[in-house]
Amino acid sequence: MATQKIRIGNIKGPQGERGKTGEQGIPGTAASVKVGAVTTSDYGSNAKVTNSGTSSAAVLDFQIPQGAPGETVTDVSELGAKSITASDAQFPTFTVGEKMKAVLGKIQKYLTDLKADVGQRLLATNVANNLATTVAGYALDARQGKALADKNASLENRITQLNGKLKVKEISGVINSDSFYVFYATEELNLGTIKIPRYSRGIHIGYGTNAAIIAVDYNGKFYHAYRVPEGWKTS
């Protein structure tokens, strides 16, 4: 009798029981990575990294392109500057392509001048805010300008007073004395007296030659004193 198959669709029976956990497998070998050969390639080529080992024991070989060809020189002083960064600092000016020998020469000159300038600097401790300091190398503080101006104004005022209309007030003396006195005053203030030694060369007025001539008037008029037997007289 022939077997006949009849399709009735997918039939899913109930889930069976969970099976037993299997035994742990043997531990595998740990992976490793090492650096292999490092070589250079031509300028302009691409960098390359290849694994000359296995997937679990990698050996990485690096191929790095060379840099741009440099300038061929035998003396560093002949090297040329390719670029220069501008600076706000006070420093020698260089130009592109200038030889290193010239650049270093400018720097040397600048540092030499700078050293000399620093050696001549004025220290803040060497600034005197007074008119009494006499130490060499010290400078006068600008604040003393006001003090000097005040002193100068006072002196000018005093000179103005002394240059006032100076007039003789009285001339007197004592018989047989070696001096006589001039009492004087200005329009602004009374200054006191002047003691003038007598001398024997003057105007001969018939009483002898003992006389003194003084000129004190602001107009140029002079006054003189002379001795007579009775004492000193003035004219």
Q: Residue 45: left if φ>0, alpha if ψ -120 to 50, beta else—which one?
A: beta
Mean pLDDT of the chain: 70
**What per-residue confidence (pLDDT) applies to 21?**
83
Query: Is 23 domain-assigned?
Result: no
**Are 156 and 180 found together in one domain?**
no
Statement: residue 215 has pLDDT above 60: no
**Are 80 and 106 found together in one domain?**
yes
User: Residue 121: pLDDT band by 50, 70, 90 thresholds?
Assistant: confident
Query: Is 8 domain-assigned?
Result: no
Higher pLDDT, 45 or 116: 45
Q: Let me know: does 179 contact 191? Beta carbons within 8 Å.
A: no
End-to-end CA distance of the chain: 190
Query: Is 113 domain-assigned?
Result: yes
Query: Is 92 domain-assigned?
Result: yes
Average pLDDT on 98-110 reads 79
Alpha carbons within 13 angstroms on the beta-carbon side of residue 21 total 3
**Are 110 and 133 found together in one domain?**
no
**What per-residue confidence (pLDDT) applies to 55?**
82
**Are 154 and 172 found together in one domain?**
no
**Are 230 and 177 found together in one domain?**
yes
**Are 213 and 177 found together in one domain?**
yes
Q: Let me know: does 227 contact 198? Beta carbons within 8 Å.
A: yes
**Are 157 and 171 found together in one domain?**
no
Query: Is 185 domain-assigned?
Result: yes
**Are 205 and 171 found together in one domain?**
yes
Question: Other CB atoms closer than 10 Å to residue 16's CB: what's the count?
Answer: 6
Query: Is 19 domain-assigned?
Result: no
pTM of the model: 0.25
Query: What is the Cα Rg of the chain in Å?
Result: 58
**Are 172 and 202 found together in one domain?**
yes
Where do runs of H (alpha helix) occur along the chain? 100-119, 144-162
Q: Which string of DSSP letters, residue by residue, matches 71-115?
A: P--S-GGG-B-S-----SSS-----TT-BHHHHHHHHHHHHHHHH
Give the model confidence (pLDDT) of 185-214 as tens digits.
555 555 555 555 554 444 444 444 455 545
User: Residue 157: pLDDT band by 50, 70, 90 thresholds?
Assistant: confident
Ranking 6-20, 53-67, 192-206 by mean pLDDT, the lowest is 192-206
Domain that holds residue 196: 167-234
Query: Is 11 domain-assigned?
Result: no
**Are 173 and 207 found together in one domain?**
yes
Query: Is 214 domain-assigned?
Result: yes
DSSP 15: -
Question: Other CB atoms closer than 10 Å to residue 173's CB: what's the count?
Answer: 21
CA-to-CA dists, residue 26 to 23, 29, 78, 137, angstroms = 10, 10, 69, 92
Question: For residues 108, 114, 119 and 123, what is the CA-based torsion angle, rounded to 10 degrees?
Answer: -160
Total tally of structural domains belonging to the chain: 4
In 3D, which of 138, 116, 224 has the Cα closest to residue 173? 224
**Are 190 and 217 found together in one domain?**
yes
* CA 176 – CA 180 distance, rounded (Å): 10
Ranking 93-102, 118-127, 163-172 by mean pLDDT, the lowest is 163-172
**What per-residue confidence (pLDDT) applies to 4?**
66
**What per-residue confidence (pLDDT) applies to 208?**
46
DSSP 235: -
Cα three-residue angle 27-28-29, rounded to 5 degrees: 125
**Are 114 and 131 found together in one domain?**
no
Q: Let me know: does 63 contact 46? Beta carbons within 8 Å.
A: no
